[in-house]
Structure 1
C-alpha cells in the first residue's frame, strides 16, 4: 500500500467515525421517535362574504373554479375539534392548492396545519401532495412539522362533506411519527 492510499484510508475512517458520532448525538438531542394520531375538521367556506378559499390565479378567459386546470387558490380555514363549526377551534389550515390535472380531478396541495389550541399550541404540520378532490377519502403526505411535531413524517386522509353551498366540512385523520 502506498503512503497516499494509507493517508486517504485513514482520513476516510476518521470522517466516517465523526459522522457516526454526529448522527448519534443528533438522535439523542431529538429524543425518542413517537407516533401520534388525531382527527380534526376543516370548516371550509368556498364562497360568500366569509370565504376561506379564494382563487388567486388562473388561465385568462376561463372560469377560475376547482375543476379548471391551472387555477390556484389560497386557503385559511378554521380547524375544529368536531364536525359542527361551533365546536372549539384548535387551529387553522393555511396554504394553497392548484388544480394540476388537465381533467380537473386532482389538486396539488401545500397546506400548513397551524395549531392555536391548548394541547398543540405553536406546533405545525406540513402537508403536501396530490389531492384527488373527487375521491373520498383521499390521502396526502405529511412531510414535516415543528414544535411538538418536530421532524414529522406520515400521512393524512381527507373526507369532505357538503353541508351547504357555502360550507364544506373536511374530516382530516392524521397519523405521524415525530420526535
Structure 2
C-alpha cells in the first residue's frame, strides 16, 4: 500500500518539472519575441517594398436571365418577402473595362451575394475580383460588405488579395449603371482604391 502514494508522488514531481520547464520555455520566448510558432519577418526578404495605392474602374455584369446566366440562385427562402430576404446567388460575373458586355474582359467576380435585409433590398457581398489581363493576370482582390442596392453609391471593403495585390486593403464604390427590373440583369460600375505592395 505504501508503494501507491510513493508512485503518485513521483509522477506528481515529474509532471511538475515538465510543466515548470514549459513555463520557463514560454517565458523565455516572450522575452525574445519567439513564440514558437510565430516569427517576425523583414518585409524586404519577402519582396515587399514600398506600399502603393492603385485606383481603377471596372464594370460588373450580373446576368441572371437567359441561357448564359452568370448569377445563379442557390437558396430560395420558404417565405416570400418584398425585399427578397434570404435569397442567395452564386456568381461568376464578367468584369469589363466599359459598361458594355462587349468591352474588354479584364477578369471575373466570383463569390456570392445574399439578400440580408428585411427592411430594404440590401445585399451581403462576398466576392473575389480575379483578374485575367496584363501584369495583374492571376491576381485577386477580395471585396466584402453591405450593398444597399438602391442607394446611389455603396461602399464596401477590400479585405485582402493575392498575387500583385498581396496584403491588399482598401475600398470599392459601387454605382448602378443599368438595372433591368424585368430580367433582374444589372451592370454596376466599381471604382476601386487598393493599398498593396
Using the alignment, how far apart are the partners of 1:124 and 1:41 within structure 2? 16
Q: Larger relative CO (CA 8 A, sep 6+): 1 or 2?
A: 1
Q: What SS does structure 1 have at the residue aligned with 2:78?
A: coil
1:177 is displaced (CA, Å) by 0.7
Residues of 1 paired with 2:46 and 2:135: CA distance? 23
For the pair 1:48 / 2:48, whether they are aligned, the reply is: no
3-state secondary structure, aligned to 2:42 = helix
- Measured against aligned partners, the alpha-carbon deviations of 1:43-84 in whole angstroms (never above 9, x if no partner) come to 221322222222111322537x8x311111111111111112
* 2:18 alignment counterpart: none
Match of 1:4 in 2: none
**TM-score, normalised relative to structure 1:** 0.82
Count of aligned residue pairs for this structure pair = 173
2:78 equivalent in structure 1: 60
Aligned to 2:161: 145
Which of 1 and 2 has greater Rg? 2
Q: Does 1:37 align with 2:52?
A: no
Quote how far apart the aligned CAs of 1:11 are. 5.5
Q: Which one has the bigger strand percentage? A: 1
Which residue of the other structure, out of 139, 162, 165, is the alignment partner of 2:178? 162
Deviates more, 1:22-31 or 1:112-121: 22-31
Shift of 1:103: 1.8
Unmatched 5+ stretches in structure 1:
1-6
Gaps of 5+ in 2: 1-24
Structure 2 distance, partners of 1:60, 1:10, is 58
Aligned-residue CA RMSD (Å): 2.9
Q: Deviations over 1:119-162 (max 9, x none)?
A: 31000111111111111210000001000100100001111122
